[in-house]
Protein backbone atom coordinates (compact mmCIF):
# COMPACT_ATOMS: atom_id res chain seq x y z
CA UNK A 1 0.00 0.00 0.00
CA UNK A 2 1.16 3.47 -0.86
CA UNK A 3 1.90 5.70 2.15
CA UNK A 4 -0.57 8.45 2.95
CA UNK A 5 -0.01 12.01 3.92
CA UNK A 6 -0.40 10.90 7.51
CA UNK A 7 2.52 8.51 7.15
CA UNK A 8 4.75 11.30 5.94
CA UNK A 9 3.65 13.48 8.82
CA UNK A 10 4.49 10.75 11.28
CA UNK A 11 7.86 10.12 9.69
CA UNK A 12 8.87 13.75 9.91
CA UNK A 13 7.14 14.33 13.23
CA UNK A 14 4.83 17.12 12.12
CA UNK A 15 1.11 17.38 11.72
CA UNK A 16 -0.86 16.34 8.66
CA UNK A 17 -1.69 19.95 7.97
CA UNK A 18 1.92 20.88 7.65
CA UNK A 19 2.58 18.15 5.14
CA UNK A 20 -0.47 19.25 3.22
CA UNK A 21 0.84 22.79 3.24
CA UNK A 22 4.22 21.63 2.05
CA UNK A 23 2.50 20.55 -1.15
CA UNK A 24 -0.28 23.04 -1.61
CA UNK A 25 0.75 26.21 0.19
CA UNK A 26 4.52 26.43 0.37
CA UNK A 27 4.36 29.94 1.83
CA UNK A 28 2.78 28.58 4.99
CA UNK A 29 5.88 26.90 6.29
CA UNK A 30 9.62 27.46 6.38
CA UNK A 31 11.66 26.41 3.39
CA UNK A 32 13.82 24.09 5.45
CA UNK A 33 10.93 22.20 6.95
CA UNK A 34 9.34 21.95 3.56
CA UNK A 35 12.51 20.40 2.15
CA UNK A 36 12.65 17.99 5.03
CA UNK A 37 9.07 16.94 4.41
CA UNK A 38 9.48 16.52 0.67
CA UNK A 39 12.63 14.50 1.25
CA UNK A 40 10.86 12.18 3.64
CA UNK A 41 8.00 11.85 1.17
CA UNK A 42 10.40 10.92 -1.59
CA UNK A 43 12.05 8.40 0.63
CA UNK A 44 8.77 6.80 1.66
CA UNK A 45 7.53 6.77 -1.90
CA UNK A 46 4.60 9.03 -1.11
CA UNK A 47 2.96 9.81 -4.45
CA UNK A 48 1.72 13.26 -3.43
CA UNK A 49 -1.74 14.25 -2.29
CA UNK A 50 -4.42 11.84 -3.42
CA UNK A 51 -6.39 13.59 -6.18
CA UNK A 52 -9.72 12.16 -5.12
CA UNK A 53 -9.40 13.09 -1.47
CA UNK A 54 -8.22 16.52 -2.48
CA UNK A 55 -11.17 17.03 -4.80
CA UNK A 56 -13.60 15.93 -2.14
CA UNK A 57 -12.27 18.37 0.39
CA UNK A 58 -11.78 21.23 -2.01
CA UNK A 59 -15.16 20.87 -3.57
CA UNK A 60 -14.01 20.87 -7.17
CA UNK A 61 -12.34 18.43 -9.46
CA UNK A 62 -10.37 20.31 -12.10
CA UNK A 63 -11.95 18.67 -15.07
CA UNK A 64 -14.88 19.30 -17.33
CA UNK A 65 -17.07 16.69 -18.91
CA UNK A 66 -17.87 16.51 -22.58
CA UNK A 67 -21.12 14.78 -23.29
CA UNK A 68 -21.99 13.10 -26.54
CA UNK A 69 -25.42 11.62 -26.59
CA UNK A 70 -24.27 8.80 -28.78
CA UNK A 71 -21.42 6.38 -29.01
CA UNK A 72 -18.15 7.71 -27.72
CA UNK A 73 -16.31 6.29 -30.69
CA UNK A 74 -18.63 8.37 -32.87
CA UNK A 75 -17.09 11.49 -31.43
CA UNK A 76 -13.81 10.55 -33.05
CA UNK A 77 -15.34 9.48 -36.30
CA UNK A 78 -17.33 12.59 -37.09
CA UNK A 79 -14.90 15.21 -38.38
CA UNK A 80 -17.02 18.04 -37.03
CA UNK A 81 -17.05 16.54 -33.57
CA UNK A 82 -13.30 16.10 -33.70
CA UNK A 83 -12.78 19.77 -34.54
CA UNK A 84 -15.15 20.68 -31.74
CA UNK A 85 -13.16 18.55 -29.32
CA UNK A 86 -9.96 20.17 -30.50
CA UNK A 87 -11.44 23.53 -29.55
CA UNK A 88 -12.53 22.31 -26.14
CA UNK A 89 -9.08 20.81 -25.67
CA UNK A 90 -7.33 24.04 -26.52
CA UNK A 91 -9.39 25.99 -23.99
CA UNK A 92 -9.03 23.30 -21.35
CA UNK A 93 -5.31 23.33 -21.87
CA UNK A 94 -5.14 27.06 -21.32
CA UNK A 95 -7.03 26.66 -18.06
CA UNK A 96 -5.07 23.67 -16.86
CA UNK A 97 -8.26 21.64 -16.82
CA UNK A 98 -8.74 18.06 -17.94
CA UNK A 99 -11.47 16.82 -20.25
CA UNK A 100 -13.55 13.84 -19.25
CA UNK A 101 -15.21 12.02 -22.10
CA UNK A 102 -18.16 10.13 -20.73
CA UNK A 103 -19.57 7.28 -22.78
CA UNK A 104 -23.33 6.97 -22.51
CA UNK A 105 -24.79 3.47 -22.42
CA UNK A 106 -27.77 2.96 -24.73
CA UNK A 107 -30.29 2.46 -21.94
CA UNK A 108 -31.44 5.80 -20.55
CA UNK A 109 -31.32 4.70 -16.91
CA UNK A 110 -27.72 3.63 -17.31
CA UNK A 111 -26.93 6.79 -19.22
CA UNK A 112 -28.42 8.91 -16.45
CA UNK A 113 -26.27 7.13 -13.95
CA UNK A 114 -23.19 7.77 -16.08
CA UNK A 115 -23.88 11.50 -16.02
CA UNK A 116 -24.62 11.39 -12.31
CA UNK A 117 -21.34 9.64 -11.60
CA UNK A 118 -19.04 11.77 -13.71
CA UNK A 119 -16.50 13.52 -11.52
CA UNK A 120 -16.45 16.92 -13.22
CA UNK A 121 -17.02 20.57 -12.46
CA UNK A 122 -19.31 21.15 -15.39
CA UNK A 123 -20.33 19.91 -18.80
CA UNK A 124 -20.02 20.87 -22.41
CA UNK A 125 -23.00 19.22 -23.98
CA UNK A 126 -22.42 18.37 -27.59
CA UNK A 127 -25.58 16.75 -28.67
CA UNK A 128 -26.40 14.64 -31.61
CA UNK A 129 -29.70 13.37 -30.30
CA UNK A 130 -32.31 14.13 -27.76
CA UNK A 131 -30.64 15.58 -24.75
CA UNK A 132 -33.23 16.87 -22.31
CA UNK A 133 -32.73 14.07 -19.84
CA UNK A 134 -29.01 14.79 -19.72
CA UNK A 135 -29.57 18.44 -18.98
CA UNK A 136 -32.03 17.45 -16.27
CA UNK A 137 -29.42 15.34 -14.56
CA UNK A 138 -26.84 18.08 -14.80
CA UNK A 139 -29.21 20.66 -13.36
CA UNK A 140 -30.14 18.22 -10.64
CA UNK A 141 -26.48 17.93 -9.76
CA UNK A 142 -26.27 21.68 -9.66
CA UNK A 143 -23.43 21.73 -12.16
CA UNK A 144 -22.91 24.45 -14.74
CA UNK A 145 -23.09 23.51 -18.38
CA UNK A 146 -22.86 24.95 -21.84
CA UNK A 147 -25.13 23.70 -24.54
CA UNK A 148 -24.45 23.85 -28.25
CA UNK A 149 -28.00 23.29 -29.37
CA UNK A 150 -30.46 26.12 -28.97
CA UNK A 151 -33.47 24.98 -27.00
CA UNK A 152 -36.74 26.78 -26.72
CA UNK A 153 -37.03 26.22 -23.01
CA UNK A 154 -33.52 27.38 -22.18
CA UNK A 155 -33.40 29.43 -19.03
CA UNK A 156 -32.03 32.94 -19.40
CA UNK A 157 -29.05 32.02 -17.27
CA UNK A 158 -28.15 28.99 -19.32
CA UNK A 159 -25.00 29.30 -21.35
CA UNK A 160 -24.99 28.56 -25.01
CA UNK A 161 -22.76 28.76 -28.03
CA UNK A 162 -24.00 27.99 -31.48
CA UNK A 163 -25.24 29.37 -34.72
CA UNK A 164 -28.54 30.49 -36.10
CA UNK A 165 -29.29 27.08 -37.53
CA UNK A 166 -32.42 28.17 -39.28
CA UNK A 167 -30.96 31.21 -41.03
CA UNK A 168 -27.84 29.29 -42.00
CA UNK A 169 -29.83 26.44 -43.49
CA UNK A 170 -32.05 28.89 -45.25
CA UNK A 171 -29.06 30.43 -47.02
CA UNK A 172 -28.10 27.06 -48.46
CA UNK A 173 -31.64 26.30 -49.54
CA UNK A 174 -32.07 29.76 -51.05
CA UNK A 175 -28.98 29.12 -53.14
CA UNK A 176 -30.43 25.86 -54.40
CA UNK A 177 -33.85 27.37 -54.99
CA UNK A 178 -32.19 30.21 -56.87
CA UNK A 179 -30.62 27.65 -59.19
CA UNK A 180 -34.11 26.63 -60.15
CA UNK A 181 -34.48 23.36 -58.28
CA UNK A 182 -38.05 22.44 -57.42
CA UNK A 183 -37.86 18.67 -56.96
CA UNK A 184 -35.95 18.68 -53.74
CA UNK A 185 -35.11 16.15 -51.06
CA UNK A 186 -34.00 16.94 -47.53
CA UNK A 187 -31.95 14.37 -45.67
CA UNK A 188 -31.34 14.49 -41.95
CA UNK A 189 -30.19 12.42 -39.03
CA UNK A 190 -32.73 10.98 -36.59
CA UNK A 191 -35.69 13.06 -37.72
CA UNK A 192 -37.88 11.01 -35.43
CA UNK A 193 -36.47 8.88 -32.60
CA UNK A 194 -37.10 5.44 -34.05
CA UNK A 195 -37.98 6.10 -37.64
CA UNK A 196 -36.49 3.72 -40.21
CA UNK A 197 -33.97 4.83 -42.82
CA UNK A 198 -35.48 6.25 -45.99
CA UNK A 199 -38.25 8.61 -47.07
CA UNK A 200 -40.45 9.75 -44.24
CA UNK A 201 -43.75 11.57 -44.36
CA UNK A 202 -43.94 14.21 -41.68
CA UNK A 203 -46.86 16.52 -41.11
CA UNK A 204 -44.66 19.44 -40.19
CA UNK A 205 -41.18 20.44 -39.12
CA UNK A 206 -42.31 21.05 -35.59
CA UNK A 207 -42.58 17.32 -35.07
CA UNK A 208 -38.83 17.01 -35.15
CA UNK A 209 -37.52 16.52 -31.67
CA UNK A 210 -33.93 17.56 -31.91
CA UNK A 211 -33.62 21.35 -32.00
CA UNK A 212 -30.61 21.44 -34.32
CA UNK A 213 -32.22 19.21 -36.91
CA UNK A 214 -35.50 21.05 -36.53
CA UNK A 215 -33.77 24.38 -37.01
CA UNK A 216 -32.00 23.28 -40.16
CA UNK A 217 -35.05 21.66 -41.69
CA UNK A 218 -37.08 24.78 -40.88
CA UNK A 219 -34.51 26.89 -42.65
CA UNK A 220 -34.64 24.67 -45.71
CA UNK A 221 -38.42 24.86 -45.69
CA UNK A 222 -38.38 28.65 -45.31
CA UNK A 223 -36.39 29.19 -48.47
CA UNK A 224 -38.59 26.93 -50.55
CA UNK A 225 -41.76 28.39 -49.12
CA UNK A 226 -40.59 31.66 -50.57
CA UNK A 227 -40.58 30.23 -54.06
CA UNK A 228 -43.98 28.68 -53.51
CA UNK A 229 -43.00 25.18 -52.49
CA UNK A 230 -44.63 24.01 -49.30
CA UNK A 231 -43.45 21.41 -46.81
CA UNK A 232 -45.53 18.58 -48.19
CA UNK A 233 -43.94 19.04 -51.59
CA UNK A 234 -40.46 18.40 -50.27
CA UNK A 235 -39.22 14.85 -49.86
CA UNK A 236 -37.84 14.13 -46.43
CA UNK A 237 -35.34 11.30 -45.96
CA UNK A 238 -34.47 10.00 -42.54
CA UNK A 239 -31.11 8.50 -41.60
CA UNK A 240 -30.70 6.83 -38.25
CA UNK A 241 -27.22 8.04 -37.34
CA UNK A 242 -24.95 10.64 -38.85
CA UNK A 243 -22.81 8.43 -41.03
CA UNK A 244 -21.76 8.43 -44.64
CA UNK A 245 -22.74 4.87 -45.54
CA UNK A 246 -26.03 5.18 -43.67
CA UNK A 247 -26.89 8.28 -45.68
CA UNK A 248 -25.92 6.59 -48.92
CA UNK A 249 -28.09 3.61 -48.10
CA UNK A 250 -31.04 5.73 -47.05
CA UNK A 251 -31.14 7.84 -50.19
CA UNK A 252 -30.05 5.36 -52.85
CA UNK A 253 -33.54 4.24 -53.75
CA UNK A 254 -34.77 7.77 -54.31
CA UNK A 255 -32.90 8.17 -57.56
CA UNK A 256 -34.77 5.25 -59.11
CA UNK A 257 -38.17 6.85 -58.57
CA UNK A 258 -40.13 8.19 -61.52
CA UNK A 259 -39.40 11.85 -60.76
CA UNK A 260 -36.19 11.85 -58.74
CA UNK A 261 -35.06 14.96 -56.90
CA UNK A 262 -32.73 17.30 -58.75
CA UNK A 263 -31.28 18.55 -55.49
CA UNK A 264 -30.60 17.08 -52.07
CA UNK A 265 -30.06 19.28 -49.02
CA UNK A 266 -28.33 17.46 -46.21
CA UNK A 267 -28.38 18.29 -42.53
CA UNK A 268 -24.64 17.71 -42.30
CA UNK A 269 -21.59 17.30 -44.50
CA UNK A 270 -21.24 13.71 -43.46
CA UNK A 271 -24.71 12.97 -44.78
CA UNK A 272 -24.06 15.02 -47.92
CA UNK A 273 -20.89 13.08 -48.61
CA UNK A 274 -22.95 9.92 -48.22
CA UNK A 275 -25.37 11.23 -50.83
CA UNK A 276 -22.46 11.89 -53.18
CA UNK A 277 -21.25 8.36 -52.49
CA UNK A 278 -24.65 6.99 -53.43
CA UNK A 279 -24.53 8.91 -56.69
CA UNK A 280 -20.96 7.88 -57.42
CA UNK A 281 -21.93 4.27 -56.86
CA UNK A 282 -24.27 4.35 -59.85
CA UNK A 283 -23.01 3.50 -63.32
CA UNK A 284 -21.88 6.64 -65.14
CA UNK A 285 -24.67 6.48 -67.75
CA UNK A 286 -27.32 6.34 -65.02
CA UNK A 287 -26.04 9.07 -62.77
CA UNK A 288 -28.51 11.95 -62.57
CA UNK A 289 -26.98 15.43 -62.22
CA UNK A 290 -28.11 16.07 -58.68
CA UNK A 291 -27.11 19.17 -56.75
CA UNK A 292 -26.07 18.41 -53.18
CA UNK A 293 -25.44 20.69 -50.22
CA UNK A 294 -24.00 19.90 -46.85
CA UNK A 295 -23.65 21.63 -43.53
CA UNK A 296 -20.58 22.30 -41.34
CA UNK A 297 -17.79 22.54 -43.91
CA UNK A 298 -15.65 19.78 -42.53
CA UNK A 299 -12.18 19.34 -44.08
CA UNK A 300 -13.42 16.58 -46.40
CA UNK A 301 -16.04 18.87 -47.89
CA UNK A 302 -13.52 21.01 -49.73
CA UNK A 303 -11.88 17.99 -51.33
CA UNK A 304 -15.26 16.70 -52.47
CA UNK A 305 -16.25 20.07 -53.90
CA UNK A 306 -19.27 20.13 -51.66
CA UNK A 307 -21.35 23.30 -51.42
CA UNK A 308 -22.02 23.75 -47.75
CA UNK A 309 -22.61 26.07 -44.84
CA UNK A 310 -19.47 26.82 -42.94
CA UNK A 311 -19.56 27.10 -39.20
CA UNK A 312 -16.48 27.56 -37.02
CA UNK A 313 -16.18 24.15 -35.39
CA UNK A 314 -13.07 24.59 -33.34
CA UNK A 315 -14.20 28.03 -32.27
CA UNK A 316 -17.44 26.52 -31.08
CA UNK A 317 -15.62 24.06 -28.87
CA UNK A 318 -13.22 26.64 -27.62
CA UNK A 319 -15.96 29.08 -26.68
CA UNK A 320 -18.07 26.37 -25.10
CA UNK A 321 -15.22 25.46 -22.78
CA UNK A 322 -14.39 29.10 -22.20
CA UNK A 323 -17.96 29.91 -21.19
CA UNK A 324 -17.83 27.03 -18.77
CA UNK A 325 -14.41 27.66 -17.31
CA UNK A 326 -14.65 31.35 -16.94
CA UNK A 327 -18.22 32.45 -17.11
CA UNK A 328 -18.93 36.03 -18.15
CA UNK A 329 -20.37 38.21 -15.42
CA UNK A 330 -22.99 39.46 -17.80
CA UNK A 331 -25.62 36.78 -18.40
CA UNK A 332 -26.24 38.02 -21.93
CA UNK A 333 -22.59 37.36 -22.79
CA UNK A 334 -23.21 33.73 -21.94
CA UNK A 335 -25.18 33.36 -25.12
CA UNK A 336 -22.86 33.36 -28.10
CA UNK A 337 -23.98 33.22 -31.71
CA UNK A 338 -21.26 32.35 -34.18
CA UNK A 339 -21.22 33.50 -37.80
CA UNK A 340 -21.86 31.12 -40.67
CA UNK A 341 -21.17 31.43 -44.37
CA UNK A 342 -22.46 29.71 -47.45
CA UNK A 343 -19.54 28.15 -49.32
CA UNK A 344 -20.49 27.45 -52.92
CA UNK A 345 -18.51 24.74 -54.62
CA UNK A 346 -19.03 22.40 -57.52
CA UNK A 347 -21.64 20.10 -56.01
CA UNK A 348 -24.45 22.51 -56.82
CA UNK A 349 -25.47 23.80 -60.24
CA UNK A 350 -28.48 24.91 -62.21
CA UNK A 351 -31.31 22.47 -62.59
CA UNK A 352 -30.82 20.45 -65.79
CA UNK A 353 -33.37 21.25 -68.55
CA UNK A 354 -34.39 17.83 -69.73
Partner DNA sequence: GCTAGTCTCTGTATCGATACAGACTGGATC
Partner DNA sequence: GATCCAGTCTGTATCGATACAGAGACTAGC
Contacting residues toward DNA, per CB under 7 A: 1, 4-6, 13-18, 20-21, 23-25, 27-30, 33-34, 48-50, 52-54, 56-59
* Residue 26 near a second copy by CB under 8 A: no
- Which of residues 137 and 264 has its CB atom nearest to DNA in the complex? 137
| CB of residue 120 to DNA, shortest distance in Å | 15
Which residues, 6 or more positions from 31, have their beta carbon under 8 angstroms from its beta carbon?
Answer: none
108 binds a second copy (CB under 8 A): no
Q: What is the Cα Rg of the chain in Å? A: 26
Helix axes 132-141, 108-117, angle to 10 degrees: 30
Q: Transcribe 241-296 into DSSP letters.
A: SS-HHHHHHHHHGGGGSSS--SEEEESSHHHHHHHHHHHHTS-GGG----EEE-SB
Contact status, residue 317 vs residue 84, Cβ threshold 8 Å: yes
Nearer to a second copy by C-beta: 61 or 177? 61
Give the relative orientation of helices 16-24 and 5-12 as an angle to the nearest 10 degrees.
Answer: 110
Q: Which stretch binds a second copy (CB under 8 A): 50-58, 177-185, 322-330, 336-344?
A: 50-58
8 Å CB contact between 175 and 293: yes
CB 147 within 8 A of CB 125: yes
Tell which one of 5, 9, 37, 85 touches a second copy (CB under 8 A).
85
Nearer to DNA, 42 or 58 (CB): 58
In the complex with DNA, the residue whose CB is nearer, 47 or 305, is 47
Ramachandran class of 96: left when φ > 0, alpha when ψ lies in -120 to 50, beta otherwise: left
Q: Rounded distance, CA 181 to CA 200, Å?
A: 20
Residue from 6, 25, 26, 53 touching a second copy (CB under 8 A): that is 53
Among 4, 33, 36, 89, which residue interacts with a second copy (rule: CB under 8 A)?
89
The smaller minimum CB distance to a second copy, of residues 227 and 302, is found at: 302
Alpha-carbon gap, residue 341 to 328, rounded angstroms = 27
Q: Which is nearer to DNA, 44 or 167 (CB)?
A: 44
Query: What is the smallest separation between the CB atom of 238 and a second copy, expressed in angstroms?
Result: 25
Question: Rule CB under 8 A: is residue 92 a binding residue for a second copy?
Answer: yes
Which residues between 119 and 158 bind a second copy (CB under 8 A)?
Answer: 119, 140-142
- Compute the distance between CA of residue 213 and CA of residue 202 in angstroms, rounded to an integer: 14
Answer yes or no whether residue 63 interacts with a second copy by CB under 8 A.
yes
Q: How far, in Å, are 111, 188, 239, 339 from residue 242 at the CA level?
A: 20, 8, 7, 23
Strands 159-163, 145-147: parallel, antiparallel or unpaired by DSSP?
parallel
Q: Which does 30 bind (CB under 5 to 8 A by kind): DNA, a second copy, none?
A: DNA
Using the minimum distance from each CB to a second copy, give the nearer residue, 82 or 197. 82
Interacting residues toward a second copy by CB under 8 A: 2, 45, 47-56, 61-63, 71-73, 75-77, 82-83, 85-87, 89-90, 92-93, 96-103, 105, 110, 113-114, 116-119, 140-142, 303
Amino acid sequence: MKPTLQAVADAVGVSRSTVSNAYSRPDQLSATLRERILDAARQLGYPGPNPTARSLRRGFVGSIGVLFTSQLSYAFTDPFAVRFLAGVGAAAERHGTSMLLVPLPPAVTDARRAVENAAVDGFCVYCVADEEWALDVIRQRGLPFVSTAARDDAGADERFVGIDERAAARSAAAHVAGLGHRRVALIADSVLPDAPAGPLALAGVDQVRHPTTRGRLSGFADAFAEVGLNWAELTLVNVPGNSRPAAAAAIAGLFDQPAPPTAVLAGSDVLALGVLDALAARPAHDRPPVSVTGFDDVPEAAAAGLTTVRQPAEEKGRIAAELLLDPPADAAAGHVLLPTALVVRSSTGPVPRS
